């Protein structure tokens, strides 16, 4: 079969009832601007860490808010706290502080 460089994604069930949402609640409590995110991806598009790794702020915080935190620690370790993502966010999300709060919650500071 020909490969066109993309494929249909596998089914994914989000287990909101079973996942631990306490970390997301902590981050949202300390940085409520994250509620304004519209998943546009501008942050990931401008992020220097995304250019050299699989890390994406947009995806990382979406998974965190779903309670899917398996790769969260290694994800946020890629961030250099440069702040470029804040400059391009159309919704005024304080992305840098979101990452900072995640690191605090994970005892990475």
Return residues touching ligand SF4 (CB under 6 A): 37-43, 47-49, 57-58, 79-85, 89-91, 93, 95-96, 99
How many angstroms separate the CA atoms of 75 and 12, rounded? 20
Q: How far is the CB of 103 from ligand SF4 (least distance, A)?
A: 11
Apex 64 CA angle, 59 and 66, nearest 5: 100
CB nearer to ligand SF4: pick between 39 and 54:
39
Q: How far is the CB of 6 from ligand SF4 (least distance, A)?
A: 21
How many angstroms separate the CA atoms of 74 and 33, rounded? 23
CB nearer to ligand SF4: pick between 16 and 92:
92
CB nearer to ligand SF4: pick between 1 and 87:
87
Q: How far is the CB of 66 from ligand SF4 (least distance, A)?
A: 15
How many angstroms separate the CA atoms of 40 and 44, rounded? 9
Q: Could you please report the per-residue DSSP string of 44-62?
A: HHH-HHHHHSS--HHHHHH
Q: How far is the CB of 14 from ligand SF4 (least distance, A)?
A: 18
Question: Nearest to residue 37, comparing CAs of 84, 101, 92, 75?
Answer: 92
């Amino acid at each position: 079969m020909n490969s066109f460089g993309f494929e249909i994604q596998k089914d994914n069930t989000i287990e909101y009832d079973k996942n631990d949402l306490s970390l997301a609640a902590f981050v949202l409590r300390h940085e409520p601007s994250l509620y304004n995110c519209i998943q546009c991806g501008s942050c990931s598009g401008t992020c220097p860490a995304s250019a050299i790794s699989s890390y994406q702020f947009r995806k990382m915080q979406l998974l965190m808010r779903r309670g899917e935190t398996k790769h969260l620690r290694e994800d946020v370790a890629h961030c250099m706290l440069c702040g470029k993502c804040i400059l391009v966010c159309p919704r005024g999300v304080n992305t840098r502080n979101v990452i900072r709060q995640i690191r605090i919650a994970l005892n990475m500071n």
